[in-house]
Chains A and B, each alone.
Chain A
């Protein structure tokens, strides 16, 4: 499950480094190394009505990467509490830990 901060400060550029997930420049792509049967959910911290981008667990890593590349960098402050509550709901829907 990925929760990515899309608030304004994530657009900060220091030198050539950019916190936001520019295409092919996002170091956190490495977290998406997956094994057989792994699934992904994707959420964004922002002011959108629903911060959940991928609610139904996705199996294809490339689909998730494409979705991350399409996330727009917005100029809002980000509603952290609402985003975390959505993550809580997603975790509740996920299979229990064995």
Chain B
């Protein structure tokens, strides 16, 4: 006598297949088992778990600049049949600490945008979003790496270099990117995140 024990929490997402054909195939498989064995379905689920998960963590800017705000988009999913409120936070290192309460409707997804700030430059910055622990701990934190920079260096290749700003092909672009620098002010006084360097198309290893 063969006994088959299937031990599962029988989650609908797993046991309800996508198409009627798949459902029928599953039913046939289970019926086939019954002809070969005594089948026992053992429900290991217990009371419904409370689960809110972090689904995604995006940083659209991709580069975090020192002292300047940048945005992170976090998507949360509520897997329960009741509205859930959680505090979403990042731990505060290396970015300035962020914390915000979020209420996600039952069975819904919600995207929030966090404004973060990087106090010190580094090569790569590890960001983390976190919510309080619940029934399933694995999906309560999510991490992303972004580049952390003090400035962004921009190379302008000028096909018509000239000493006067108005005559140079790159003059106004440079002025737009770094106004104070273009006016001859020391770099420290420039609030622009860009450091433009101009070169010619024939010799772009040697800045003008």
User: Which residue from A12, A31, A80 sits with its C-beta under 8 Å from B136?
Assistant: A12
B51: chain A residues within 8 A (beta carbon): 12
CA distance A16 to B33 in the complex (A): 34
Chain A, range 63-98, C-beta contacts under 8 Å to B: 75, 77-78, 80-81, 84-85, 87-88, 91-92, 94-95, 97
Query: CB distance B26 to A31 under 8 Å?
Result: no
Query: CB distance A28 to B1 under 8 Å?
Result: no
Report the interface size for chain B: residues with CB under 8 A from the other chain: 38
List the count of A-B residue pairs having beta carbons below 8 Å apart: 107
Which size bracket describes the interface of A in this complex? 20 to 34
Nearest B-chain residue to A38, judged by Cβ: B3
**9 nearest A-B residue pairs (beta carbon):** A5-B8, A12-B49, A12-B135, A91-B36, A19-B44, A1-B4, A3-B6, A9-B11, A4-B7
B123 within 8 Å of A (CB atoms): no
B83: chain A residues within 8 A (beta carbon): none
A9: chain B residues within 8 A (beta carbon): 9, 11, 13-14, 49, 136
Q: Nearest Cβ in chain B — how far from A33, in angstroms?
A: 11
Query: CB distance A19 to B26 under 8 Å?
Result: no
Query: CB distance A5 to B22 under 8 Å?
Result: no
